[in-house]
Amino acid sequence: APDPGLRTLDPQTLFIQPKNWFTFLNWAEWFPSAQPIEVDLGAGDGGFIAARAKAHPEINFVAVERLLGRARKIDRKARRLGLANLRVLRMESYYTIRWLIPPASVRAFYLLFPDPWPKKKHHKHRVIRGEFLSATEQALVPGGCLFAATDHHEYFKEILDALRQRSGWSTDLLRDDQWFAEKTDFEIHFLKAKRRIQRLVARWDK
């Protein structure tokens, strides 16, 4: 049966739809319980974040997804599973972190299999840049984490280098068996294809 917390929400949607897109969100308006916040950036069809939310009712999760079809799919999945601790935000990742997430309010960000933009002329579109990390530093609680995974080795090195060049981060590489039990669709596909996946956790220590 759906969690009773869902009754306090709009029965039609689990989307976060702020009245003002230029001020920080108030998490208390969007979740029935005050709990740690974890955010999946580019959540795709939501397989990973929905499984995390189901396994961890003591954490509030936000699925950030730019594409409407995917965002709606996450919403339907969360509603079907009765997940009172999962919300969907249809927005671009950097804007969300920089302008919508309150400072020092997120315990973990997940950046899983971001678009690698493999052509050199498109590298500027890659999400990991100085301004992205600066916004992430603003949004994380002290000791909060950024988890990242990709099968694109050059992009992984770029992410790792970017983190190691900034003060305040401690970074560890993780093996498959040190990772989450929940999987994205990309991850399931890559593992079946025996493609090497590189993973890291970066802790914000300031």
Which residues are known to be catalytic? 115
Residue in this structure with the two tokens 């802790």, named with its chain if needed: 203
CA distances from 129 to 44, 56, 181, 193, 196 (A): 21, 31, 28, 30, 24
Residues 6+ apart with CB under 8 A from 40: 46, 48, 49, 52, 61, 62, 63, 64, 109, 110, 112
Tokens of 90: 């249809």
CB atoms within 10 A of CB 123: 14
Between CA 38 and CA 62 the distance in angstroms is: 6
CA distances from 121 to 116, 118, 125 (A): 12, 9, 9
